[in-house]
Structure 1
Amino acid sequence: MPAPRRPLPRRWNALPALVRNAPPRVLLVVGAVVVVLGILIVTRPLTSLVLLGVYVGLSAIVMGVLELVGRPAGWWARAVSAAWILAGVAVLVWLGRSLELLPSVLAVLLVIGGLASVGRAVTRGTASSRVLSLAWGVAQIALGLLSFTWPDVTVLVLSVVFGVRTIVFGVGVFARGVVGIRRPRPRTTPFDAQRAVRRRRARTRWAAAGRYALSLVLVATAAGGWWLNDWLNDGAPVVDAFYDPPAEVPGGHGRLIRSDAYLGRLPENGDVTRILYTTRDAVSRPAVASALVIVPKDLPPGPRPVIVWNHGTTGVAQGCAPSLRDASATRWSIPALEQALRAGWVVIASDFSGQGAPGDYPYLIGKGEARSSLDAVLATSELRSDLTLSPDTVVWGHSQGGHAALWTTAIASEYAPGIDVLGTAVVAPVADPPALARELLSGPPNALLSVLTSWVLVPYSRTYADVHLDDYIAEGSRSIVLEMTQRCPTEPGVVVSVLTALGVSEDRPLYSADLTDGALGRRLAENAMTEPLGSPLLIAWGAEDEVIPPKLQRDYVEGLCAQGQPVRWATYAGYDHLRPILPKSRFLPVLYDWTKNLIERRTQVVDGCGLR
């Protein structure tokens, strides 16, 4: 009679098959080493990325070989064995080429493991074992597919999945070693044998119950993951076809491509149109941008003065455009909007290129922001036959938009000579990006700072050829950093960015180099606007600003005063970063009156340097 065939290993790991009959002392050593390995993988996802890859790659190859040597029955088992070997080789090969490809390969490996578990559920085992294999297979496939949906958390997901599996297996091996050393082989009697049989039956029943319970947990986990994925995706903004530029666009910058009704809430005293137009980016490449044009309902005759509004940070992804949001044309988003419309002014608010319309977003890149704002004004002049824009223009901006406003005024006479900028009002402006970077980076790293840093670093690397992303980020973190730029602060998915940053920060910082040094530091310095503008300037900020330290605003004002720039400034006690531009702010009457006096050429105090 031929010897019975040895059952095939039931896990994809190679170690179970290799240590099945090992001596107890070997089990102790192997178990301890495997537990430490698992802990490293879970707690140090970036540091242990190579370790994870070597472990998984070698294990997959050995597992596939063992399956083939065991002569698997049927094409499914042979196909899975071959897939293990190929995937293991792919992991080891890609380790030497790019760690960025490793998470995707590991996700594929997770799917293969799930298919193997499904195959075992179909071919062999008790009912409870089959149910558990099926549930575990489905859960692995679901986790693998979700890893592709959220690339930046792939490393963390796989680290937890593989790491926990490794820890559990290591603990089991170590426990077997302890039991093997401490328990002598007893002499058995027939009575002992009967009792052992009863114990085995009881353990079998409990094991079956445990398998069914674990199966429910796995199915619930997979279902919960897909529900969470749907919820996060449903909350993401949708960029409609309006923002897709045609194959051919008008030549030159500031040309209107198309216009359409704004889909959000309307102001009480205005009509809102969204426009798509041509512009140029910071390095003079042709680009497309979108904007909101807000016109008074009762449009007075004659040319209308223009307010150019530059919005604060909304993210850097295409879907973060203010014109896609519901309240972007209300007084909650644009300060003193209703007063401006009642005065007969036209308010033009650019999204900046790369938001709404496709392209690279110029976050804190002065010329890119400014050109988008100025070209929105030029394109608006083509919008309606009954709308004539006056050259008289006042530029407003908040936070990042304050930076954009300063640059808009600085380049207006050269880039758009038909626009006469009478003055510039900025609230909590980022006038000096390098100084802000040094201030923020001087404190302890945190998740929100990691997200904000990605919003600066990625656009700079895409705009300037000498700024290389890999020079500033930790090895293996490219997908994490890039994905952080694809979510807006207002969508639920930003939680994924924050949690990922938190998880990785427990390992090591995402950013491995000084962000104010090298090519990035030089480019940040190029985008500072600390020079006099030559026209009236109004600056305000909250004394309790939690985003941009008030010290930077005071330093900025002192520097301008020393250079002879007329500056009217105000700081508001008890106000945070956003409060100065919200309804009922004490700053809004100041902003409106100052702007009205400029447009009407009335005498007013425009220089507060002597008041400091």
Structure 2
Amino acid sequence: MGEERDAGRVIPRYRGAMAQGRVALRWARLVLGVVAVLVGLFLALRPFSSLAVLLIAAIVGLVAAGVAQLVTAAREGGALRWASGALYVAAAVVVVGWPGPTIRVLAVVVGVALVVDGVLDVLAGVRARSSARWNAWLGGAASVLLGLVALAWPDVTLLVVGLVFGLKVVMLGAREVVGAVTGRGARRPPRARARAGRWRLGGNVAVLVLALVVAAVSVGLNRGAHRPDAFYTPPDSVPAQPGELIRSERFEAEFVPEGVVAWRILFTTTRDDRTPAVASGLVLVPQSAVGEHARPADVITWAHGTTGASPGCAPSVLESGLSSGAMFVADEVAAHGWAMVATDYVGLGTQGPHAYLVGDATARSVLDSIRAAHQLDGVALADETVVWGHSQGGAAALWTGVLASSYAPELAIDGVAALAPAANLPALVHSLDGITGGELFAAYVAEGYTRTYPDVSFDEYVRPAARTLVREMAQRCLEDPGVLVSVLSSLVLDKPIWDGDPDRGALHDRLAQNVPSGPIAAPVLVGQGAADSLVLTSAQDAYVRARCDAGYAVDYRTYAGLNHVPLVEPGSPAIDELFVWTQQRFADEPATDTC
């Protein structure tokens, strides 16, 4: 009788404890589910928040996903689900423990986790039935696909982690919330569990569709990248003499004005360290300067603005051609009866590296393109040449004037016109942090200077967390569809790309070295938009003041209300005055000095 009374007291207490345990488990599942949903929504809706916040959210998401899988495994069983949960928790531990985790680390960890988890889901689907099988297969396929995208294209991990991994965490969290609210647990019969899982089918279909879209966009952006064809590959034997025409071929494109004959050319030049190199370019000649009765045409030598830093970014490769480098008035040049010689620079079109904003290298490409153009058969070019340039090309034009007398003394340079030139390089690089999209130009500088100068170390000047993004940005042309990823990626950076102040040490010395500060024998025109948000007017004022203080003549003109690109667009007063100024140079009229 005593044992029966003891049992009577123990069983209710046991049942009460079990009930309290189930209540506690439901609350735990509810809290876990809510946390997972909130973190997942943050990742999905704010994928381009700061890198530090993204890393924290990704770690919390990995842990939440792992714990949710482990709770489900404890409730419903299944070795594969145990393995999946352990995988996500292990991935979070790897990211936490990695010294200085970067986008590349996050790409590899999340990519591997998604691929392995997807494979586990597919295997689990083989044993499942009804909707559970389709849920496993659809979710597994989406995970594998997105994991492969993350591994193949590191900086797209921001999208994968944010949009897709975030939605996956939301779904796992929502499942826990529903289970906690309804009280459904492991004792449900199989059919009830199958019915309860059908709500996941729509979510898994949506995730798979999103995965297919991300993969298709990734492939499309990659295929949309511009690449030079076989014309730009030099022969095995290349002349050692700079300015030699290697090959030429007639060139047709929509941007070539009517009544103009065009060629693309390949010619020899030299790099910044004076080693031989090969560059490409375009030559546009009025029909009157071609053939047996040709009349020599005066020459405009065009140094283009920034198009990118990889071989596919040459204006002669890009669909928009000269306008990609801010030459919008080729038809007006032709209407004046002038020819145009436009180099691509070394490393654009031809093999890199491209010495972005390195003065000597770009100027030699400009001068050697003039030499090569004069070697075209059946083309009559006058000796008179005026150099034009904008932005990056504005600095190249100024450097062309500085180097002309020593590097190519046989060429007659009648004038140098630099519009919004990137001349004050230390000031320009310092200001990029405050400019929308400035990180893209900073990436070009980092890539160009660290690959040109051995004493400028990429790892010394670029933050570890930004290095993969910077490398990827530097490979995209401004005209590539993938540049959208670069712009969006730049928004994730919670700091500048630089590790400290870039205007220091070897980089500072090299930037200062590339300020075009030497004497220029020809008249110089510098045009500047007063509303320029990239090349700031204050920096240009300081550059011109320094030239004036050094005793050099400059015709400096500013234009109210004009930004960087509008300065050189058709209808700009700067362009109207440029044509008048150029006619005066060809007529050998006295130049104005505003110093």
TM-score normalized by structure 2?
Answer: 0.80
1:392 and 1:215 map into 2 onto residues whose CA distance is: 68
Q: CA deviation at 1:21?
A: 12
Correspondence 1:604 to 2:593: no
- Percent of aligned positions with the same letter in both sequences? 37
CA deviation profile, 1:176-216 (whole Å, cap 9, x unmatched): 78999xx9x9xxxxxxxxxx989x977753x2431321232
- Contact 1:59/1:88 (CA < 8 Å) preserved in 2? no
Q: Please point out which of 381, 386, 393 is paired with 1:394.
A: 386
1:413 and 1:135 map into 2 onto residues whose CA distance is: 69
Amino acid at match of 1:120: A
- Contact 2:424/2:540 (CA < 8 Å) preserved in 1? no
CA deviation profile, 1:326-352 (whole Å, cap 9, x unmatched): 443579953654454455433110111
Correspondence 1:379 to 2:383: no
CA deviation profile, 1:524-583 (whole Å, cap 9, x unmatched): 111112444243111222233233222333333333333322222322233332233222
Q: Please point out which of 262, 284, 304 is paired with 1:272.
A: 262
Correspondence 1:581 to 2:568: yes
Correspondence 1:147 to 2:134: no
- Contact 1:352/1:369 (CA < 8 Å) preserved in 2? yes
Aligned to 2:277: 287
1:101-120 alignment to 2 at 5 Å? 103-120=107-124
Q: Please point out which of 568, 582, 591 is paired with 1:595.
A: 582
With 252-261 and 507-516 compared, the bigger mean Cα shift is at 507-516
Alpha-carbon spacing, 1:178–1:120, altered in 2? closer, same or farther (3 Å): closer
1:511-530 alignment to 2 at 5 Å? 511-530=498-517
Aligned to 1:16: none
Amino acid at match of 1:150: W
Aligned to 1:405: 397
Q: CA deviation at 1:286?
A: 2.8
- Contact 1:243/1:356 (CA < 8 Å) preserved in 2? yes
1:224 and 1:51 map into 2 onto residues whose CA distance is: 24
With 487-496 and 451-460 compared, the bigger mean Cα shift is at 487-496
Alpha-carbon spacing, 1:163–1:582, altered in 2? closer, same or farther (3 Å): closer
Q: Please point out which of 307, 319, 340 is paired with 1:347.
A: 340
Aligned to 2:16: none
Alpha-carbon spacing, 1:33–1:590, altered in 2? closer, same or farther (3 Å): closer
1:411 and 1:306 map into 2 onto residues whose CA distance is: 18
SS in 1 for 2:454: coil
CA deviation profile, 1:406-460 (whole Å, cap 9, x unmatched): 011111122222212222011111111111223343x3x64x1122211111111
- Contact 2:416/2:523 (CA < 8 Å) preserved in 1? yes
1:110 and 1:219 map into 2 onto residues whose CA distance is: 13
Alpha-carbon spacing, 1:72–1:374, altered in 2? closer, same or farther (3 Å): same
Q: CA deviation at 1:276?
A: 1.4
Q: CA deviation at 1:518?
A: 2.3
1:434 and 1:44 map into 2 onto residues whose CA distance is: 27
1:435 and 1:231 map into 2 onto residues whose CA distance is: 37
Unaligned runs of 5+ in 1: 1-18, 186-195
Q: CA deviation at 1:366?
A: 0.6
Amino acid at match of 1:151: P
Q: CA deviation at 1:510?
A: 3.5
CA deviation profile, 1:43-75 (whole Å, cap 9, x unmatched): 664567599689969999xx99xx9xx9999xx
Alpha-carbon spacing, 1:35–1:121, altered in 2? closer, same or farther (3 Å): closer
Correspondence 1:431 to 2:418: no
Amino acid at match of 1:353: V
Alpha-carbon spacing, 1:520–1:22, altered in 2? closer, same or farther (3 Å): farther
Number of aligned pairs?
Answer: 559
Q: Please point out which of 484, 487, 493 is paired with 1:495.
A: 484
Q: Please point out which of 201, 222, 225 is paired with 2:211.
A: 222
- Contact 2:389/2:419 (CA < 8 Å) preserved in 1? yes
Aligned to 1:454: 443
1:237-386 alignment to 2 at 5 Å? 237-265=226-254, 266-299=256-289, 301=294, 304-329=297-322, 333-334=326-327, 337-384=330-377, 386=378
Q: CA deviation at 1:94?
A: 10
Correspondence 1:127 to 2:143: no
Alpha-carbon spacing, 1:25–1:59, altered in 2? closer, same or farther (3 Å): closer
The alignment's C-alpha RMSD in Å is 4.3
SS in 2 for 1:292: strand
1:138 and 1:350 map into 2 onto residues whose CA distance is: 48
Amino acid at match of 1:399: S
SS in 2 for 1:548: coil
Amino acid at match of 2:113: L
With 400-409 and 316-325 compared, the bigger mean Cα shift is at 316-325
- Contact 1:45/1:156 (CA < 8 Å) preserved in 2? no
- Contact 1:395/1:425 (CA < 8 Å) preserved in 2? yes
Aligned to 2:546: 559
1:593 and 1:91 map into 2 onto residues whose CA distance is: 65
2:555 and 2:96 map into 1 onto residues whose CA distance is: 62
Alpha-carbon spacing, 1:343–1:35, altered in 2? closer, same or farther (3 Å): closer
1:561 and 1:519 map into 2 onto residues whose CA distance is: 27
- Contact 1:362/1:459 (CA < 8 Å) preserved in 2? yes
Alpha-carbon spacing, 1:203–1:52, altered in 2? closer, same or farther (3 Å): closer
Aligned to 1:485: 474
With 564-573 and 331-340 compared, the bigger mean Cα shift is at 331-340
